[in-house]
């Protein structure tokens, strides 16, 4: 075998072992190609990873900047302030002209939190922090009411209104008699009260045409409103001493100490009664602070008529049931006026005196009809006639 020639670097002999040389060289070429491909791919992967790493670093940097901005204690950009509109309305109370109800109509816009605080100044007559308060002024006069509204971001707005406050006008029942088939009457029916009292104020005045005043009456009765069955009925006069009409014996009439009636003045009346469930009630009458009679026994018109006495006892034995304020008579007419106010009825049947009915007419409207056939809101009896609500000028 001929000796092999030294092949150049990276080369094989070309002359000896020709078949094997060819195969070896071919394998070397393949190996070199594969190594080249691997080296190139490694370079490309390294380059790609370098790019990816750079992008990841960039994204992380951006994320950190954003996080720093959003977590900063003080926002470098001030938000737009809110827009606040202060506004309110007022309504005088129907029962008391010194009292007003205030409705806060203020609004906050431009921010998510639309709440606000309210500060009211009632023209130096008081203050309130309620949103929509009610305020009773101490006296009539002119008041500048101011509302200050503060939004949650500190923006402030104010509104003012000048209010003319007037003193309350007194209201009362007005009873007249322009019908010739009945008397003018304000009647109230309640559950029977064995022991109790009624208090009220009254006044009488002449009408514009007749220029005359007729008698007014207060009648406290049991289950029957017939005069002969009254517990007590008093005739209220305008130019003479008052007097009993029903329920008084001769002895009671003789012992009575009635004051003189006067027109155009308010007078207080109190009538109390007590029934023991066996005998006819006893009563006490006080007019204008003057005691007329105390613990007088109620009686019928004719105490010698057994049937009348029995009927009277049967209808009054359980105490008072009906209360009648009447003007004039059934046989004539008169355009005078019987004014009644501040009615209060008490019961002591439970052992403690309690109010069972009261009406000062302040919650009513001038001209309101007190006949329940006309006014379904009226608490009075259906026999009420020509009784309306009056008001001071």
Q: What pTM value is reported for the model? A: 0.68
Q: What is the pLDDT of residue 30?
A: 47
Q: Are the C-beta atoms of residues 162 and 314 closer than 8 Å to each other? A: no
| Claim to verify: residue 266 and residue 344 sit in the same structural domain | yes
Q: Is residue 71 in some structural domain? A: no
How far is it, in rounded angstroms, from Cα 212 to Cα 330?
17
Q: What is the pLDDT of residue 79?
A: 73
Tell which residue, 343, 361, 339, 357, has the closest CA to residue 168: 361
Q: How many domains does the chain have?
A: 3
How far is it, in rounded angstroms, from Cα 263 to Cα 257?
19
Give the residues of the chain that fall short of pLDDT 50.
Answer: 1-24, 30, 38, 42-43, 48-49, 57, 65, 68, 72-73
Q: Is residue 267 in some structural domain? A: yes
Q: Are the C-beta atoms of residues 50 and 44 closer than 8 Å to each other? A: no
Q: Are the C-beta atoms of residues 341 and 361 closer than 8 Å to each other? A: yes
CATH of the domain at 119: 2.60.40.10
Q: What is the pLDDT of residue 293?
A: 98
| Claim to verify: residue 255 and residue 327 sit in the same structural domain | yes
| Number of C-beta neighbours around residue 333 at 10 A | 18
> Domain boundary residue among 27, 59, 91?
59
Q: What is the pLDDT of residue 236?
A: 98
Could you tell me how many helices (H) and strands (E) the chain has, helices first?
3, 22
| Claim to verify: residue 227 and residue 256 sit in the same structural domain | yes
Q: What is the pLDDT of residue 281?
A: 98
> Domain boundary residue among 133, 165, 197?
165
What contacts 57, CB < 8 A, 6 or more positions away? none
Token pair of 93 as six digits: 């109370």
| Claim to verify: residue 371 and residue 297 sit in the same structural domain | yes
Q: What is the pLDDT of residue 1?
A: 41
Provide φ and ψ at 195, rounded to 5°.
Answer: -130, 120
Residue in the structure block whose two tokens are 């003189």:
260
Q: What is the pLDDT of residue 167?
A: 87
Q: Is residue 145 in some structural domain? A: yes
> Domain boundary residue among 137, 165, 193?
165
Question: What domain range is 116 assigned to?
Answer: 83-165
How far is it, in rounded angstroms, from Cα 269 to Cα 342?
10
Q: What is the pLDDT of residue 66?
A: 54
């Amino acid at each position: 075998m001929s000796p092999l020639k030294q092949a150049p670097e990276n080369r094989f002999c070309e002359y000896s072992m020709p078949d094997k040389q060819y195969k070896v060289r071919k394998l070397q070429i393949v190996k070199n190609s594969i190594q080249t491909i691997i080296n190139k791919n490694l370079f490309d992967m390294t380059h790609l990873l370098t790019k990816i790493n750079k992008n990841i670093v960039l994204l992380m940097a951006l994320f950190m900047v954003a996080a720093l901005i959003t977590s900063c204690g003080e926002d470098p950009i001030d938000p737009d302030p809110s827009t606040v509109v202060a506004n309110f309305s007022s309504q005088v109370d129907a029962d008391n002209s010194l009292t007003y109800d205030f409705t806060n109509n203020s609004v906050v816009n431009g921010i998510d939190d639309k709440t606000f605080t309210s500060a009211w100044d009632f023209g130096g007559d008081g203050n309130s922090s309620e949103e929509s308060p009610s305020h009773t002024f101490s006296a009539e006069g002119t008041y500048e009411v101011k509302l200050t509204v503060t939004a949650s971001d500190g923006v402030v707005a104010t509104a003012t209104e000048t209010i003319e406050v007037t003193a309350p006008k007194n209201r009362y029942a007005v009873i007249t008699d322009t019908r010739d088939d009945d008397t003018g009457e304000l009647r109230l029916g309640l559950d029977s009260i064995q022991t109790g009292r009624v208090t009220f104020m009254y006044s009488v005045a002449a009408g514009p045409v007749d220029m005359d005043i007729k008698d007014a009456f207060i009648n406290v009765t049991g289950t029957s409103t017939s005069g002969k069955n009254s517990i007590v009925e008093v005739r209220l006069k305008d130019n003479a001493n008052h007097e009993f009409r029903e329920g008084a014996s001769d002895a009671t009439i003789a012992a009575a100490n009635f004051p003189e009636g006067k027109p155009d003045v308010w007078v207080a009346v109190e009538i109390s009664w007590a029934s023991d469930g066996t005998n006819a009630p006893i009563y006490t009458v006080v007019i204008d602070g003057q005691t007329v009679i105390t613990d007088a026994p109620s009686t019928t018109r004719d105490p010698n008529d057994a049937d009348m006495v029995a009927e009277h006892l049967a209808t009054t034995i359980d105490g008072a049931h009906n209360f009648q304020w009447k003007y004039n008579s059934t046989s004539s007419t008169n355009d005078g006026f019987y004014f009644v106010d501040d009615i209060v009825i008490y019961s002591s049947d439970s052992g403690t005196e309690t109010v069972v009915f009261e009406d000062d007419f302040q919650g009513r409207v001038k001209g309101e009809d007190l006949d329940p056939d006309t006014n379904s809101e009226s608490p009075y009896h259906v026999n009420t006639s020509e009784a309306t609500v009056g008001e001071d000028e």
